[in-house]
Amino acid sequence: MKAQSIFLSVFILFAAFTVNAQSGLKKDTIKVWGNCGMCKKVIEKSALTAGAKTADWNTDTKVLTVAYNAKSTNGKKIQQSIAASGYDTQDLTASNEAYDKLHGCCKYDRKETANVKEEAKSCCEGSDKACCKDGDKKDATCTKEGHKTGEAPKKHH
C-alpha cells in the first residue's frame, strides 16, 4: 500500500512538471508560401528541426502554427530553417538555389510575384479602372490603360 502511495505521488509530481513545461511554450503563426502535402511535410519538418515542439501548416491558408520553447529557439530561427528548405516565409525569402531544388508540384508563386498579383487585384481588378484612366492612380504601377506596369493589356474579344 505504501509503495502504491509513493508511486502515485511520483506520478502526480511528474505530471505536474510535464504540464508546467508545456505551458512554457510560446505559440506563433507564420505565413509560409507552398502548395501541397509534400510542401506541408517539408515545412513542418524544417520547423521541428529548428526547435519547434509542434508545427502544423495549413495548405489552404498557408499559415504555419508553431509552439516552441523561447529559451532554445525563436520565430526567426524557425523561418530561417524553412527558407533554407526552399519556402518563402512572411519575413524571409528562400534563396533561388533552395527554391529551384523543390519538386515540380512544390514550385509555388514566389512571394514577390504573389504580392504583385495582390496589388494588381486591389488597384485594377473589380472596378471600372477609373482610378487608373483618369491619372489618379492608387499606386505607381497602375497604368492609364488599367493594367499593371510590365503586364500586357487584356484583350477583349
Confidence at residue 112, expressed as pLDDT on a 0 to 100 scale? 75
Residue 153 vs residue 74, higher pLDDT = 74
What pLDDT is recorded for position 139?
44
Whether residue 4 is predicted with pLDDT greater than 60 in this model: the reply is yes
Arithmetic mean of pLDDT, 82-88: 98
Average pLDDT over residues 115-120: 51
Phi-psi category of residue 17: left, alpha or beta, with phi > 0 → left and psi -120 to 50 → alpha: alpha
The CATH number of 24-106 is which of 3.40.50.10860, 3.30.70.100, 3.30.70.20, 3.40.50.300?
3.30.70.100
Q: Does residue 128 have a pLDDT over 90? A: no
Binning pLDDT at 50, 70 and 90, where does residue 111 land? Answer: confident
Highest mean pLDDT among 99-103, 138-142, 152-156: 99-103
Cell numbers representing residue 128 in the block: 471600372
- pLDDT of amino acid 19: 46
Segment 72-76 mean pLDDT: 97
Whether residue 144 is predicted with pLDDT greater than 50 in this model: the reply is no
Q: Mean pLDDT across the chain, nearest whole number? A: 77
Handedness of CA 41, 71, 79, 35 (dihedral sign): positive
Question: What is the pLDDT at residue 83?
Answer: 98
Other CB atoms within 10 A of residue 144 CB = 11
